[in-house]
Amino acid sequence: MAKKKTTLDASEELYAEIASETDGDVLGAMEAVRYFIDTGSLAVNYVCSGKFIKGGIPAGKITEVYGPSSSGKSLLASNILYGCQKLGGWPIILDCENATNTEFMAKTSHLNLNKVLRYTPLSLETAFLKIHNVVRKIRSKVPNEVPIVVVYDSISVSPCDRELKETQLPDNYKPTDWKKIVGRKEQPGERAKVCASELRKLQAVLEQDNVTIMVINQTREKIGVLYGNPETTGGGGNSLPFYASCRLRTATRMKIENKRLKMFAGVNMQVKNVKNRSFRPFVESSGVQLYFDTGVNPLSGLLSCFIQGERVVPTGKGMFAVTKAYLPEGREEYKFRGSLDRNDVPMALLLDCPKLIDAETTEEVQTYMDAFGDAIRNSGSEDFAEMQVAFDADGNPLDVDEETAESEE
């Protein structure tokens, strides 16, 4: 934890003195999170941290992002790597799926690809070992104040070392071959035990080395569950939810279609924090627009966040009012038109009321938005429309009309 400056009275100074002499800290002098890594979406920043322009995933912690296929996890990860670059940090991606699309990342996340380290570890053990080795090498050349962000994409596809040895068996192997090459049979909960051990070691060094980890996970369904939620995650067992300071669940219920070109142009993402140690849990936002060619629209998903944070209140008939603490100087009221179904806000609102997103000036808002100008223009274009969408078992988008037709058959 980072230390914050405080003024102490005589009795409190004694506590500070004892803490210093015994290599400890006074709890009141600590900050829960040193800083946050921007996600590229103001709404997702708020869901993670309760902050907007200065928010994001907590630094020096583990964040898990999980959800079904095509729900925006990898694009969100790319934006977080860009957030690291904006801080002058070192972004690292463990591409265990071997599916990184550099052209897509450059277009949608504005990354300088020449300043992103990529590794393709084959197993869980080598992935975590790679993190330790790379961090140690960077810290030997770069001061601790410089952030390091590691994206693990994704933990659910990484086998353990013993599973990899099975691929070395001959076609017609004998029990003696198995014992010689593999060594032992699979143990119950083997991958979960590996993750528990590795995450325990990793947790010990994150804060001291100023390292932030984002782990992408996939959802699965338990077999035979008749009551309750059958959903589970594909990798890490119960240790990853335990060690993660923030857990985000992503989903997609709308698709964005380019009507002029008649093509699938993006998705409308829903994000919910199901665990959060730096902000209240179970905050969510829907309507976060992700365009495949231009990236995230930072204005999307904001209206519900403003209402949850009591920064904006509905006044009826589609009108909303900015609360007193966030009004621009010299204004007694500020009203604007909006829709919770669409769940975005006009750019003019943020320029007129920069306090709404924790900005000091209009210029600070404009500077943040400049990188996302193309996505903002797409959102306001008549060429793009949002449509309800479902996904098949393989994660492919399925139009509602097609889904209905299949069910009728």
Does position 110 have pLDDT exceeding 60, yes or no? yes
Mean pLDDT of 306-328: 94
pLDDT digit string, tens, across residues 335-385: 999 999 889 999 999 999 999 999 999 999 999 999 888 888 888 777 778
Phi, psi at residue 87, to the nearest 5°? -90, 5
Q: Is the dihedral of CA 357, 358, 361, 365 positive or negative?
A: negative
From 101-105, 135-139, 232-236, 396-400, the region with the lowest mean pLDDT: 396-400
Q: Is the dihedral of CA 343, 296, 334, 311 positive or negative?
A: positive
Q: How high is the pLDDT of residue 2?
A: 58
Q: How high is the pLDDT of residue 362?
A: 94
Q: Which two tokens stand for residue 251?
A: 């989903």
Percent of the chain residues past pLDDT 70, beyond the cut: 92
In the three-class reduction of DSSP (H, G, I as helix; E, B as strand; rest coil), residue 311 is classed as: coil
Q: What band does 403 get if pLDDT is binned at 50, 70 and 90?
A: very low
Measuring CA to CA, which residue among 405, 351, 336, 344 is closest to residue 380? 344
Q: How high is the pLDDT of residue 400?
A: 45
**For residues 45 and 57, is the Cβ–Cβ distance under 8 A?**
no
Does position 139 have pLDDT exceeding 90, yes or no? yes
- pTM: predicted TM-score of the whole model, two decimal places: 0.87
What does 94-118 look like in DSSP terms, one character per residue?
A: EETTS---HHHHHHHH---GGG-EE
Whole-Å CA distances, 305 to 118, 142, 334, 340:
34, 37, 18, 10
From 56-70, 265-279, 305-319, 387-401, the region with the lowest mean pLDDT: 387-401
Does position 395 have pLDDT exceeding 60, yes or no? no
Q: How high is the pLDDT of residue 202?
A: 92
pLDDT digit string, tens, across residues 52-109: 999 999 999 999 999 888 788 888 999 999 999 999 999 999 998 888 888 888 888 8
Q: What band does 398 get if pLDDT is binned at 50, 70 and 90?
A: low
**Where does 59-244 sit in CATH, by number?**
3.40.50.300
Q: What band does 8 get if pLDDT is binned at 50, 70 and 90?
A: low
Q: How high is the pLDDT of residue 306?
A: 96
| Contacts of residue 371, Cβ cutoff 8 Å, sequence gap at least 6 | 110
Mean pLDDT of 308-317: 94
Q: What are the extents of the domains in the chain? A: 59-244
Q: What band does 48 get if pLDDT is binned at 50, 70 and 90?
A: very high
Q: What band does 329 get if pLDDT is binned at 50, 70 and 90?
A: confident
Give the residue, 230 or 303, on which the prediction is more confident. Answer: 303
